[in-house]
Structures are given as C-alpha cells and as structure tokens.
Amino acid sequence: MFTRKDWLEAVYAAIVAFCLYSSLFAFRKAFNVAAFEGYRLAGLDYKIILVITQVAGYMASKFYGIKFIASMKRIGRGSLILTLAAFAWLSWLAFGLIPAPYNWPCLFFSGFPLGMLWGVVFSYIEGRRMTDFISAALAVSFIFGSGLAKSVASFVMENLQVSEYWMPFATGAIFALPLCLFVYLMEKLPPPSEQDIQQRTIRLPMTGSQRTQLLKAYGPGLVLLVLVYSLVTILREVRDSFMADMWRDSGEQFNLTVFAKTETIISIILLVLIASMVLVKNNFKALQYTHRIMAMGFLLSLLITILYQQGYVATFSWMLGVGLGLYLVYIPFNSILFERLIASFRIAGNVGFLIYLADSFGYLGSVTVLLSKSVFSIQLSWLHFYQELVLITGVLGLIATLLSACYFDIKHRAQSTIL
C-alpha cells in the first residue's frame, strides 16, 4: 500500500519531471514548425538537411550515451542538465548568426547535448514503486512538449515578428528560466526508499562487463525490443519533423494551434493509461501488460491509416489516431518497459543503458529513412510517404512485439522453475 507521503512525493516528482522535460523540448523541436524554404544543398531540400543533421547529432549522442549514461554517478546531475541545455541553446545562437545555408552544422551541435538529457532526468525517478506514475508524466512530456514548442515557436514568428532562423534561439530564451527552476526542484527529490529498493531493485552504475553480461543473458529479447523501438522512433521522428508539411500536403485548412490540440489529447490518454500501471504490483505481469499496450498501438496505427486512405476519416482524426498509436508503443519504452524488465529479472544495472541501446539504433534508422527518401528521390509527398511508412513498420513492429512477449514469457518461466 502507498502512504500519503508516497503519493505526495510521486505527484511532486511527476509535475516537476513533466515541466522540466517539456521545457527542454523547446530547445529541440521548435525549429520544425518553420519551412526554411529557398535553399538547397547537394540537391536536397534545406529543411531536410537540417532535420537529418539534428537527428544525426541525436544518434551520435545515443551511441555515446550507452556507456556514459549507464556508468553515470548520481552526483552533479542538475549542473549537467543545465550545461547540456546551454550548449544546445548556444548552438541555436550560432544558427541565427551564421547566414543560411552555411549554418546547417549547428543542428548537429544542438542535437548531441540534447540527446543525453533523457538519461540524466530519468535517473532521478527510476527504481521506485511509484516510477510508473512519475515516468508516465515524464514520458508524455515528449508529446506535450513537442506540441507546445511548435505552438510557442509559431507565436514567436507570427506575433513577435522573429525570423525563422532566430526563432529557435528566441523560443529557448522563453523557457530558460523555467528550466532552471525545474532543475532546482528536481534536485530536491528524495532518493528511493528501502521499500522501493526491495520491490524494484537498487539502480547502480554499470561496468562494461556487466553490460556485456546483460546482453548475453537476454540478447534475443533485447534485439526484438530494439527492432520495435527503432521502427517506432522512425515513425515519431518523421511525424514530429514533418507534421506541418503533411497538413499542407493534405490540402485541408489548419491552424498552427492544431499541434498543441492533438498532442494534448494524446498526452492525457497516455498519462492515465501508463500511470495506472502503478497499481500492478507484480513486475512481470506489468511487463506482459506493457507488451499488449504496444501491440494495440501498432494495430491502431495500421487501422486508422487504412481508414484514412479509404477516405473514412479526416486528416485531424488520422493525425490524432496514428499519433496515439505510435506513442502507445514509444512511451512505454521511455517509462515502464525497461523499468519493469529490470525489476522482473532482478537485473543489476539501470534503465539508462537499455534505453540508450535502443535509442541509438532507433535514430540510426531515422537517419537512414530520411536520407533514403531524399537521396533516392522517392517521388511521394511527406503525407503519402508517411502513410506507407506506417503500414510497413506497423506490420513488422506488431510481429516483433508479439515475439518479444513470447521470449520473455519463456525466459521468466525458466527462471521461476530454477528458483
């Protein structure tokens, strides 16, 4: 049973984590709302170059973070968050100062530090009995923060008359002070209690040999999960980066506030669903339920896309449905999946190692897909390209999710027999 103190601490941590990561998204996703038309580099559209460059920075950060985040000690984390965010912000300053199209490398130097931040923030909240509840708030900030950043960026350009090249820096400036406040508040969060450690295991930095041992013990299952995460990361990155372009391609009239509307609805649904997992005390049952949620997400994305292609749903409904479907897969990875996996099998380590392992290949897949469409001149609008992408990755992801569920079920039965 949870005490009143447990709930107060969890609500405090959830609110602070949500606000902190929503603030960080202003430094990453604001630029996506601009069109950046008028330039081409190496025969490619300038905005595509910018998106690919930032995602490449994120990808490099995730590969570096496999070791860095896994072995990170629990001291100086607040200063680290502010340092990484400041570096990204200064990269946007350089983006505004350097004339286009020569400022595209700045996107790599904004993406790299930002890619480290999830692991640092999640280290505050993992290994707690209330981690499911807290991480739900943290994870849905991905959705809400992205929509908020785009809406604020639109306001900065339309109402403050800031150019699209200075808009990312100006948007970051708006969120700079709130970020400092929320980092300070996060530092006040107490460490996991003895009861937390007993139920969820203690979370410690991992050595190289421990990371290798974990991969050997659960390799096939982790490969399947990395595949699932790679597929859904590709869907998320394309949707996040070209959502405005897809709306324009649809021919339907839309207001830029639609980004905040769709993402807020998705955020509320995911927050309630993922937070309710805190009521499932048995870690392995929670892991099984999580796989079912992910399978439902792929199914929803497939069905709503088929209905949209047949003309049965409008663009808003499709954008909302496919977004909910992909986040039903994406959010569990960043909240409860690896948390419950570690607790189920009593693994000595931390969530950061597993998510950065999955993240690195996810962003590698994103860069590959974005380059493929551009380099090979795939003659599809972003709207039609994304529909085809959803159908292909949806089928593959559903199969891999079901196989992963079967693998860990067999593994858990084997371990239970031994014990």
pLDDT digits (tens, 9 = 90+) for 205-224: 898 899 999 999 999 999 99
What pLDDT score was predicted for residue 60? 94
Question: What is the chain's mean pLDDT, rounded?
Answer: 90
Local structure of 157: helix, strand or coil: helix
The residue-averaged pLDDT of 385-403 equals: 94
Please compute the mean of the pLDDT values over residues 52-60 and round it to a whole number: 91
Cβ-based neighbours of 275, under 8 Å, separated by 6 or more? 14, 132, 133, 136, 137
Q: What are the structural domains, with CATH classification, of the chain?
A: 4-418 (1.20.1250.20)
State how far the Cα of 320 lies from the Cα of 334, in Å rounded to an integer: 20
What is the predicted pLDDT for the residue at 399?
97
Phi, psi at 255, each rounded to 5°: -105, 145
> Residues 111, 54: contact at Cβ < 8 Å?
yes
- Would the pLDDT of 391 be above 80? yes
According to the model, what pLDDT value does residue 32 have? 81
Label residues 41-63 b or e (16+ Cβ within 10 Å = b).
eeebebbbbbbbbbbbbbbbbbb
> What does the pLDDT read at residue 82?
97
| Tokens 């350009």, residue located | 157
| Candidate from 23-37, 171-185, 278-292 with smallest mean pLDDT | 23-37
- Cβ atoms of 219 and 357 within 8 Å: the answer is no
Residue 254 confidence class, pLDDT cut points 50, 70, 90: low
Query: Which amino acid is located at 88 in the chain?
Result: A
What pLDDT is recorded for position 256? 63
Lowest mean pLDDT among 239-243, 251-255, 270-274: 251-255
Name the pTM for this structure.
Answer: 0.85
What was the pLDDT predicted at 379? 66
